[in-house]
Each structure stands twice: as C-alpha cells, then as structure tokens.
Amino acid sequence: MTTEHKAETLGFETEAKQLLHLMIHSLYSNKEIFLRELISNASDAADKLRFEALSNSDLLKQDAELSVKIDFDKEKKAITITDNGIGMSREEVISNLGTIAKSGTAQFLESLTGDQRKDSQLIGQFGVGFYSAFIVAETVEVRTRRAGEPADSATFWRSNGESEYTIENIKKADRGTSVTLLLKEDEAEFAESYRLKSIVKRYADHLSLPVMLLKDTDTATEKSTDKADPQTPEYEAVNDAKALWTRSRSEIKKEEYIDFYKLACHDFEDPLKWSHNKVEGKLEYTSLLYLPGRAPFDLWNRDAAKGLKLYVQRVFIMDDAEQFLPLYLRFIKGVVDSNDISLNVSREILQKDPAVDSMRSALTKRCLDMLSKLRKKDSEKYQAFWDQFGQVLKEGPGEDFANREKVAGLLQFSTTQSEGVSQDQGLEDYVSRMSDEQNKIYFLVSDSLNSARTSPHLEIFRKKSIEVILMYDRIDEWLMGYLQEFDGKQFQDITRGELDLGGLEDVEEKELQEKSEKALEGLVDRIKTVLDDRVKEVRVTHRLTDSAACLAIGEEDIGAQMRKIMEASGQAVPESKPNFEVNPKHGLIEKLNNEQDEERFEDLVEIIFGQASLAEGGHLQEPGKFSERLNKVLMKIE
C-alpha cells in the first residue's frame, strides 16, 4: 500500500536562501543556461534508468524509448521539460531539491567576492544547476515518479525560490520527471519555439538522448493533410542525438567540445584542454578527457565523488568511475566508453577486471601527455592549471612509481632566480640553467615563500649565483621524500647535513675552511656546553655570509614543515635535535670567541641560538627569558 502524504510546506536552510538569491540575481548575463542544466539533469536520469534496467529489465518494458520533451505555452508563459528517466521518490525530492549543495554551501558562500560576474562562475562547482531555473522563472513546479513505483506514489514539489517550498503526494501515470517553469513577465521570450530550438542546438546537439520540442501550433496548422489527432501534441527532434565521443575528431568543432564539457560535467567555465582518442586492437575503447579551468570546492576531499563517466557499449554504467585514473589526477573529467568490459559490471568486478588495469595505465599516460603538451605550447594556460591543481599533482610521485619521472617533469616551483616572474619554473628549466660543475638540484623547504627567500641557508648560494628551488606548500616535504632525482641529477636539501658544494668550491676555499674550523675548536666546545642536549652538534659552517648562525637538520630527521603537520594532526613526532652552525667570518662570532665573561657569553649564545631558531620558522621554548637576555645585552651597549 502507498503511504499517504499530505501537502507540506518546508523552509530552505538559511545558506540555501542566500544561494538562491545569488542564482536569481547574478546570472543575468547568461540566462539561457537554465535549459542546458535541466536537459543535462534529464539526460542523467535516463542514464541512471538504463543502468538499473541492467538488473531489472521490467523498468524499461513500458516506454523503452528514452527522450526529453520540451513543451511551451506562449500565452501562459510556461515551459515544461519532461523526461522518462529514473524519476525520484518523495525522500529523494526532499534530499535533492530541498537542500542546495549540502556538502559545500558554506564554502561556496565564503568564496563570494561581491563581483557578480566572478561569483556566477563559481556556481558550476557546487552542483546547483537545477536552481538556475529561478533565473527566468517566477515559480518552478516538479512532478516526479520513480521507476518501478505505483502511479499514486508520485511527488509534487513547488517553490517560488524565496524562503520555502511545498511538497505533496500526487498521481502520475508515467515514470520520470517533469519540471515546469512559470516564467517571469520579462522572460517570455523563452516560451518561443525558435528561442528554445536555438538553445537546444547550441548546448545539447551532441547529447546521445533525443531532445523533442513541441511543434509550434502556427507551423502545425499549415499541414492540412496531417490526419493526426488534434488533441495529441506533436514533437520534432531538435538535436542529432549522437554521443559526441562516438564521432570522428575531424568533424567536431571546438565549440562542440566545449559545450559538451559544460553539459556533461556541469561546469560553467570553458575547459583548459581536452583529449579525444579512440583505441582499437586488443582493447577497444574511446575516451574524451577534459582539463577543467577551475578546481571544485571538494578537491582536497580524497573521499569525494570523482572519476570519469563510464559507458559500456554505449550503455551508461556510472558517473564517477574512479578506477580509470589515479587519485592524483582526480581533477580530470570526461567519458570513457569501452567494448571490452562486461555489461553485468559492478564496482567490485570493475576493480578486478584486467582490461580496466590496461585502460587505467593508458588513460593515465594520455592525461600526463595532455598536460605536457599544454605546458610546452601555452605556458600561461599551464600556469593557470598549476595555480588550481598543482598541489594535487604533487601527490603523483608518491602514488605512481611508474610515471614518477613524467609527473616530476610537470611540477612547477619558485626559485631564487624567479623573483618578480609571474610564472613558476619547471625542473627542466632549472636543469637547463645548471653550470657544468653543478651535479645536484638544490632545494629548500619552508613555511612560506617569504620565509624561504629570507632563509640564511641561501646566503652562500646567492654569493655563488647558484639557483635554489624554493618550496613552501604543505605537501612539499612529503613530496621530496619520494622524489630522489630528476634527469639523472640528485636532489639536495640545503638545510640538511653539512654543506658540500662539490665542484662548485675551489681548493683554496676548502683550505681556508679547514683552518677556520681548527681555529674555533675551543669556541665550538664552549657553545656546546651552554646548549648541552638541545643540539646534536655544534660546528663551524661556510654556508653563511651575512648571518651569524643557523640550524641544520640531520640527514635522516624530519623537517620543520612535516613536524608541524604531524603535531597539528595529533601524531607522535619523533624526537630529533638540530645542528647549530656558526659563521666564523661574522663579527658577532668573533666577539663571542673573545668573550671572557661567562655569564655574558652564555647570554650571547642563547640569543644567537634563539635568532637561528626563529629564522628557521621555529619557536622559542622560553620567549620571556629570551627577551630578558636580549634586553640585558642591549642595556650594556654604550
């Protein structure tokens, strides 16, 4: 028996009200996208019905020809978009239409800038396409019945897009969903046949589902020989109804690729690049991969829905087939259509299918090649990609050993020679600028770009004009744990261990260093006595030119960046002590070496050590005592 539901009036959440207001008032420059979004939703509903019909063929026994129908009434200023897809239950209506972008509405609202044009471009990231109907509609009505459910279990939803909506149980003869838009007074143009036809041709011509438009009554009456029942509405197919990816690349225009991306991936912005490829032979499949122009709000949620739309022999299987690309490429959108995967496919079977493993490997390489071509041909566009997705791509070397070198070639960084340059530098660029004597790629990891640029560890490198890569993203230290070399050159963290510049130092320099180390052996022992167990070792260094001292971490110790991340997440941090290095040429160290007053000597050592800790982005264990010592020394200055 069907449960009876009385009509209810429910209110939108506060955030949803704000978002609805934006939808209605900010997209004035591109109002026609509402039809694209509603047709896209109808197409998704048809795909989902086909998938469920694989295990329950009864769902398609009646009305097996899936399509989208568009009705319009010029006098009533109304449009209705109807599909015979999967439909929705009452609970699904409340879940899908009663809340807006429930997992990301707050983040969306925080992203708003106040600029209507820029704000409107964010909307596509939050899955709120249905609500674009309110751009042109005074009121929106939805009638829906889920496939397989009885006629009296249908649901009616109605709202004017302000603060609330009504929902009630109704009877509906057919499965599927119809969305009726009662247009605003100044939006009557959308209830015209020519206007609707032009929008469908632009946005949905490549859709595999036929879009049927009600024939204009004026045109229909001209056909006097037509003996059809005058009460039966007539429709005409508007689109080609041939999936874009099944067509030859040579016959597809650039605009068609872009429009298909926006429709299939629910995005409002153009993609940066795409790759359309058909594979024949042992494996047969077609792929159409897109590189989006903007990161979605849930990019950093590794558990969020991601992956390609999967079709098997033109039959839709799933929206987010994540098995075809590694997680570090989760920003790639598109379609893969295979002839070699069984139709009785499920997620579990899909993961074990050897054909999927082969396709995953090939599609991964295709994505990396697409990025490589973009980087070489259009550095500005690649920089735009990098700004949005660079940190995710940095996960690659740790997750994909087979393609580690390829991914490394796509990475971008700031360097000591890129100050004032708008674009980051690739590792290939760095290697091409290396001198013949340099056999390592030098890098430094810090909390921010500014702190990296002012690090004392850079002093000797600036003096010798040696370029250093500056890393400051949270993932960078983790990344370098997996990236050991590039193009045959080993990476060297300039903050770890003792500095060895190899062929970049001459024999005379090394002799002078050895002499100064011997001359300051007594000072090193005195400093070690003061600092005691707070440091692993005290030593003379030649990496400094302007600073008095610095801290260097051991070769096997975790760095400051990783230590902070572990502490913030509540993880146990392995105990490690830094090495304290002093600059023998600095006047303060020379003064320290001549200091006979042990109390003053201790104060100076503690101050220099504290300054070195701060320069590394660390914190003082006893800041009050540090200030006290500093003030005491300053008071004695004449």
Q: How far apart are CA 205 and CA 199, in angstroms?
A: 9
In what order do the strands lie in the sheet containing 164-170? 8-11, 164-170, 154-159, 137-145, 176-183, 78-83, 68-73, 211-214, 235-237
Q: How far is CA 397 from the centre of its chain?
A: 17
Give which of 104, 109, 111 is closest to 126, Cα–Cα.
Answer: 104
Same domain, residue pair 455 and 529: no
Q: How far apart are CA 259 and CA 74, in angstroms?
A: 28
Q: Is the pLDDT of residue 523 over 70?
A: yes
Domain count, the chain: 4
User: CB under 8 Å to 465, separation ≥6 — which residues?
Assistant: none
In a domain, 99, yes or no: yes
Q: How many other C-beta atoms can be found within 10 angstroms of the C-beta atom of residue 150?
A: 12
Q: How many other C-beta atoms can be found within 10 angstroms of the C-beta atom of residue 79?
A: 25
Same domain, residue pair 215 and 258: no
In a domain, 504, yes or no: no
Beta carbons of 412 and 424 less than 8 angstroms apart: yes
User: CB under 8 Å to 115, separation ≥6 — which residues?
Assistant: none
Altogether, the residues listed in the chain come to a count of 638
Q: Is the pLDDT of residue 221 over 50?
A: no
DSSP state of 496: B
Q: Work out the average pLDDT over 592-601.
A: 90
Q: How far apart are CA 379 and CA 365, in angstroms?
A: 20
Same domain, residue pair 212 and 105: yes
Q: Domain range holding 320?
A: 246-383
In a domain, 285, yes or no: yes
Same domain, residue pair 291 and 332: yes
What 3 state SS string does 167-178 have? EEEECCCCCEEE
Same domain, residue pair 210 and 89: yes
In a domain, 276, yes or no: yes
Give which of 139, 176, 164 is closest to 59, Cα–Cα.
Answer: 176
Rounded to 10 degrees, what is the CA torsion of 568, 574, 577, 579? Answer: -90
Mean pLDDT for all residues in the chain: 84
Collapsed DSSP state (helix, strand, coil) of residue 145: strand
More confident of the two residues 234 and 203 = 234
Same domain, residue pair 159 and 259: no
Same domain, residue pair 576 and 610: yes
Tens of pLDDT, residues 10-64: 776 555 566 666 666 654 457 887 898 899 889 889 988 988 888 888 898 888 8
Buried b (16+ CB within 10 A) or exposed e, 2-36: eeeeeeeeeebeebbbbbbebbbebbeeeebbbbb
In a domain, 120, yes or no: yes
- What CATH number did the domain enclosing 325 receive? 3.30.230.80
Same domain, residue pair 481 and 606: no
pLDDT bracket for residue 219 (50, 70, 90): low
The per-residue pLDDT for 346 is 56
Could you tell me what percent of the chain has a pLDDT over 90? 45
Secondary structure element (H or E) that encloses residue 165, with its range: strand 164-170
- Which of 287-296, 342-351, 470-479, 616-625 bottoms out in mean pLDDT, i.e. has the lowest? 342-351
Q: How far is CA 45 from the centre of its chain?
A: 26
In a domain, 224, yes or no: no
More confident of the two residues 251 and 502 = 251
Q: How far apart are CA 109 and CA 18, in angstroms?
A: 8
Query: What residues form DSSP beta bridges with 182?
Result: 78, 139
Q: Work out the average pLDDT over 403-432.
A: 88
Same domain, residue pair 151 and 15: yes
The per-residue pLDDT for 224 is 44
With 0-12 CB in 10 A as exposed, 13-18 as middle and 19+ as buried, what is 181? buried
Same domain, residue pair 83 and 211: yes
More confident of the two residues 458 and 4 = 458
The per-residue pLDDT for 161 is 79
- What CATH number did the domain enclosing 608 receive? 1.20.120.790
Same domain, residue pair 372 and 488: no
- What CATH number did the domain enclosing 27 receive? 3.30.565.10
What angle, rounded to 10 degrees, do the helices at 521-531 and 587-594 form? Answer: 80
Q: Is the pLDDT of residue 126 over 60?
A: no
Q: How far apart are CA 223 and CA 217, in angstroms?
A: 10
Collapsed DSSP state (helix, strand, coil) of residue 3: coil
- What CATH number did the domain enclosing 442 receive? 3.40.50.11260
Q: Is the pLDDT of residue 105 over 80?
A: no
- Which of 36-45, 329-338, 367-376 bottoms out in mean pLDDT, i.e. has the lowest? 36-45
What angle, rounded to 10 degrees, do the helices at 193-203 and 33-53 form? Answer: 60
Query: What residues form DSSP beta bridges with 537?
Result: 579
pLDDT bracket for residue 127 (50, 70, 90): very low
pLDDT bracket for residue 629 (50, 70, 90): confident
In a domain, 390, yes or no: no
Beta carbons of 486 and 427 less than 8 angstroms apart: yes
In a domain, 395, yes or no: no
Same domain, residue pair 174 and 252: no
